[in-house]
Structure 1
Amino acid sequence: MTDSKTPPPQVWPTLHATDARALIRFLVDAFGFSETAVHGEGDRVDHCELSWPPGGGIMLGSVRDDPDSPWRLLPGTFGAYVVADDIDALHERAVAAGAEIVREPFTTDYGSRDFTARDPEGNLWQFGTYRGEPRR
């Protein structure tokens, strides 16, 4: 489905959470994701899309107790690098929201400004200004 509001194709990492609704609130408050869609009843989240303002996003849902599911992801095993512009302001926001900071803001040897945090489920998030090498 495409229309003027549908974003172009992108990669959307996916994770499962023990308390998906709490994780959604945390990711919105601490890091600035935008809640685009949340489907499910009560505490269960069947499908959630959180958009990252500069583009792309993540999908998440409640962990499923289905050993036969081909899409079985363990909570707390996810890691992502997220491109952002104002790393120091984002770091301050994350700290104010109670994020566990694993590594304070630093500058890499290739010029990126980064910091690393862990969410309440144990997932690692590295935010940085590095946008990748130019494509050939």
Structure 2
Amino acid sequence: MNITIHHTFLPHTDPEAALDFYRDTLGFEVRDDGGYEDMRWITVGPVGQPGTSIVLHPPAADPGVTDEERRTILELITKGAYTAITLATDDLDGLFDRLQAAGADVVQEPIDQDYGVRDCAFRDPAGNLIRIKQQT
């Protein structure tokens, strides 16, 4: 049996800022960009890896979410406490430099962790934590 990760979901609070970060800064390709009323879902993924995607979605779009719950979710997102993703690259320092030059919100500069991983961390425009590790 072969199981893969096909989609993962991250909320966005500004679709254009999300596109700028994921497409223009990280270099992901846009696979789908659709919406409904004033909401927009954008699917992006690494070039050459069509089986793995990130769906950038409006937060708390579920009609069952109350206004109070929606406010709480938005507060958690902007604090970077709602969700996170870890990416891997074969050039951590080069990618860090590119993200920093683009004005991305640096959380942690590249560091060799005690547990054997070299990584760094940023927040995307919505506040989601993006960890990036050196691929070995």
Q: TM-score range by the shorter chain?
A: 0.7 to 0.9
Aligned CA distance change for structure 1 residues 110 and 54 (closer, same or farther; 3 Å): farther
The runs of 4+ residues in structure 1 deviating greater than 4 Å are 64-67
* DSSP 3-state at the match of 2:73: coil
Q: Distance in 2 between matches of 1:15 and 1:93?
A: 22
User: 1:68 aligns to what SS in structure 2?
Assistant: coil
**Structure with more of its chain in strand, by fraction:** 2
Cα deviation, 1:105-126, whole Å, max 9, x if unaligned, reads 1112344321100112111000
SS in 2 for 1:40: strand
Counterpart residue number, 1:61: 57
Give 1:34's match in structure 2, choosing from 22, 29, 34: 29
Matched, 1:100 2:96: no
Mean CA deviation greater in 8-17 or 120-129? 8-17
Q: Does 1:74 align with 2:79?
A: no
Unmatched tracts of structure 1, length 5 or more: 1-7, 132-136
Residue 64 of structure 2 aligns to a residue whose secondary structure is coil
Q: How far 1:100 sits from its partner (Å)? A: 0.8
Q: How many angstroms apart in 1 are the aligned matches of 2:114 and 2:48?
A: 24
- In 2, the alpha carbon distance for the partners of 1:54 and 1:129 equals 19
CA distance in 2, matches of 1:95, 1:54: 24
In the alignment, structure 1 residue 128 sits paired with structure 2 residue 133 = yes
SS in 2 for 1:18: coil
Show CA shifts across 1:28-83 (max 9, x none): 223222211111268631x32110236423111223555515xx893522211111
Matched, 1:14 2:19: no
Percent identity reads 31
| TM-score normalised to structure 1 length | 0.72
**What is the alpha-carbon root mean square deviation over aligned residues?**
2.8
8 A Cα contact 1:30 1:98, kept in partner: no
Deviation at 1:15, TM superposition (A): 1.9
